[in-house]
C-alpha cells in the first residue's frame, strides 16, 4: 500500500476548498443583504480558487490521476474523467465571471453585485456537487482500478508537484488565504483537513 494514500491527499484538499466555498457563499449573502461587497476579500477568494482549487488541485487530478485512469481503461471522451474535466472548465468560467463582476462593482456598474452573487452561488453549487462526486464515486472507482504500483507512482508524482508548490510557497500562501477568509467569514475548519 502507498505510504500516504494519494486519493486521501485530494480529499484533504477538498476540505480546504469547501472551507473557502463557505466563505464565498457568505460573501454573496452579505452582498445581497447589504448591497455592498468587500472586493479585496472577493479577490482573495478568486485567487484561492484560481491558484489552489484549479492550479494545484485540479492540475493534479487532470494531469496525473485522470491521465492514469484513462491509461487504465477509463474512456477519455465520456465517463467520469471527462465529466470531471468538463466541470473543472465550467468552474474556470465561473471564476472568470466572479472576477468580471468584482471589476464591474469597483467601477460602479449597475448589476455587478447581482452578477457576483449569481456566479458565486453557481460556483459553490458546482464545486460542492463536484467534490461529492469525486469523493463518493470517482475516487472509490479509482482505488479499485489502480494497482498498488499505480498508487505509489501517483503518490510520488503528487509529492513532486507539492514540492514544486512549496518552493514557490504556493501551498502556504493558499492556506493563509483560506485561514484569513475563514476567520473573517466564520467558516469552520472542516473535519479531516
Residue 31 falls inside a structural domain: yes
pTM of the model: 0.91
> Total structural domains in the chain?
1
Residue 1 counted as domain residue: no
Q: What is the pLDDT of residues 72-109, one digit of tens each?
A: 999 988 899 999 999 999 999 999 999 999 999 999 99
Residue 168: give the domain boundaries. 6-185
Q: Is residue 57 part of a domain?
A: yes
The span from the CA of 180 to the CA of 41, in Å, is 9
Long-range contacts of 113-119 (CB under 8 A, 24+ apart): 113/31, 113/32, 113/35, 113/36, 113/37, 116/28, 116/31, 116/37, 116/42, 117/28, 117/31, 117/32, 119/94
Task: Kindly state whether residue 18 falls inside one of the protein's structural domains.
Answer: yes
Measure Cα distances from 75 to 69, 114, 158 in Å: 9, 39, 23
CATH number for position 112: 1.20.120.520
d(CA 112, CA 34): 14
As a whole-number percent, the residues of the chain with pLDDT over 90 amount to 81
**Is position 155 within any domain?**
yes
Q: What is the pLDDT of residues 129-138, one digit of tens each?
A: 999 999 999 9
Residue 75's SS3 state is coil
- Determine, yes or no, domain membership for 190: no
147 assigned to some structural domain = yes
Assigned domain for 93 exists: yes
Amino acid at each position: 500500500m502507498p505510504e500516504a494514500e494519494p486519493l486521501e491527499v485530494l480529499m484533504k484538499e477538498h476540505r480546504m476548498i469547501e472551507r473557502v466555498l463557505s466563505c464565498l457563499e457568505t460573501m454573496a449573502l452579505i452582498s445581497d443583504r447589504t448591497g455592498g461587497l468587500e472586493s479585496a476579500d472577493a479577490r482573495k477568494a478568486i485567487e484561492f480558487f484560481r491558484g489552489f482549487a484549479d492550479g494545484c488541485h485540479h492540475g493534479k487530478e487532470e494531469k496525473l490521476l485522470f491521465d492514469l485512469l484513462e491509461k487504465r481503461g477509463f474512456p477519455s471522451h465520456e465517463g467520469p474523467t471527462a465529466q470531471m474535466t468538463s466541470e473543472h472548465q465550467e468552474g474556470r468560467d465561473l471564476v472568470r465571471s466572479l472576477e468580471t463582476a468584482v471589476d464591474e462593482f469597483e467601477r460602479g456598474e449597475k448589476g455587478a453585485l447581482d452578477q457576483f452573487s449569481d456566479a458565486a452561488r453557481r460556483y459553490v453549487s458546482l464545486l460542492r456537487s463536484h467534490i461529492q462526486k469525486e469523493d463518493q464515486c470517482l475516487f472509490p472507482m479509482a482505488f479499485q482500478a489502480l494497482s498498488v504500483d499505480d498508487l505509489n507512482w501517483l503518490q510520488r508524482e503528487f509529492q513532486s508537484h507539492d514540492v514544486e508548490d512549496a518552493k514557490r510557497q504556493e501551498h502556504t500562501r493558499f492556506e493563509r488565504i483560506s485561514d484569513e477568509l475563514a476567520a473573517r467569514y466564520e467558516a469552520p475548519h472542516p473535519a479531516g483537513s
